Amino acid sequence: MQQDVRRTIRWTVAALALAVVLVALSSPLAGCGSASATLTTQTTAAVASTTTESAVTTESTSVTTTAPPASTAPPSSTETTASTETTGSTATTAPSGAGTLFLAISDSKFGFIKADGTWAIQPQYVTAYPFSEGLAAVRAPLGAGYGYIDGTGSWVVQPPYFQADLFSQGLAAVEKQPGGPWGFVDAKGTLVVPLQFNYVTSFSAGLAAVQKDGKWGYIDKTGAWVIQPKYDGALPYSEGLAAVRPDPNGTWGYLDPAGKLVIQPQFSAAGSFAQDLAAVQKGGKWGFIAATGAWVIQPQFATAQAFSEGLAAVTAAAGGAHGYIDKTGKLVIQPQFATAGPFSEGLAPVALRQGGDFGYVDTTGAMVIQPQFFDPGLGRLLFSNGLALVGKGQGYAYIDKSGNVVWQSQ
């Protein structure tokens, strides 16, 4: 169980889901609830909470490369973190002229398809993760470790690793044995940061949050401490700030890259910044603050997602319908959805009833793709490079922005 927590939850579960070992994934969509702890980076909107009751799903994985790098651990061993992506995390632009590749499965083997649904790299891997910065972590055959391939399917880093995460800013987190410790390799496979940490996150803004001896701090790409390990919880940097919790069961504030607490700890839960705002909880309600710490949207919501494409899904009351607000707090899409996700490429996945099929609305709230899909976990129904991975029938499919099926699992 602890190893599952250490792993990049969204990708691990995604891979298992595609393999038809359909493990329950904490839904990135508001209204689905969440019990998993996960960090993400870059444009990520992760949420850290002092309790396991926080219902926020800040969806805007700030890891916006084409495939968001994920973390290998929670901010602390006891808190719940919810996060999601505004970029469809199943696709990326691969090197060597391969174009955009999408993770897919056939006969329980993973491979990569092109945007037209044809195979670019034939299904042959026991497990595979999306490309990031030109490389993808794959495992083949069963029992072998993870290594990294390029967009032609050639091995770039041979597989000696028990676990291997996505690349972010030139480095990827790896471990050689179950339970760690973790370190970082570069794109050539050189271990540039030795295996020494209990938990790590991907790099963002040149720093990675890591845990050693029970405390979190931040290292640079050489592995040197930039901010000493003294925090009980920490999230990756996003838009120049990182949420931290100085004390167990305490409140959350924000650090600048120099390690200065520029927003004092005061929030029972705190999200990473996305589109200049961060979702935070105070007094049992969610609102949004600016990088100065000033309230932009007063705490008033039972749940709130991070902003994506200028809109954020919110609920006024626990268990209530979801609508979307703009960055002034104005309700621009009326509450009507049992479940609602973030916008990506102009569309957001929504369900009209709890447990019902998903369709897609545009930024006006018009249902442009009628409800007919289920959430497969991988990609979280979000569009990237014109396609979204959805659950359809007894399997999975990629659809275009008109709802047409481009590829379907066999």
Regions of the chain with pLDDT less than 50: 1-45, 50-89, 93-98
φ and ψ at 325, to 5 degrees? -110, 160
| Count of CB atoms situated within 10 Å of the CB of 5 | 15
Q: How far is the C-alpha of 230 from the C-alpha of 247, rounded, in Å?
A: 9
The pLDDT score that the predictor gives to residue 91 is 57
Is the separation of the CB atoms in 36 and 52 below 8 Å? no
Q: Which residues contact 94 (CB under 8 A, 6 or more apart)?
A: 100, 101, 112, 120, 131, 134, 136, 150, 151
The pLDDT score that the predictor gives to residue 90 is 55
DSSP 29: S
> What does the block give as tokens for 248?
């167990």
Q: What is the pLDDT of residues 145-177, one digit of tens each?
A: 999 999 999 999 998 899 999 999 999 999 999
If you write DSSP's letter for every residue of 93-133 in order, what string do you get? EETTTTEEEEEEEETTEEEEE-TTS-EEEEEEESEE---BT
Q: How far is the C-alpha of 214 from the C-alpha of 330, rounded, in Å?
A: 42
H or E stretch at 351: strand 348-351
Closest to 354 in 3D by CA, of 319, 391, 390, 305: 319
If you write DSSP's letter for every residue of 310-334 in order, what string do you get? TBEEEESSTT--EEEE-TTS-EEEE
Q: Which CATH number does the domain housing residue 379 bear?
A: 2.130.10
Number of structural domains (the chain) is: 1
The residue segments making up the domain with residue 162 are 2-408
Q: What is the pLDDT of residues 261-316, one digit of tens each?
A: 999 999 999 999 999 999 999 999 999 999 999 999 999 999 999 999 999 999 99
Q: What is the pTM (predicted TM-score) of this model?
A: 0.79
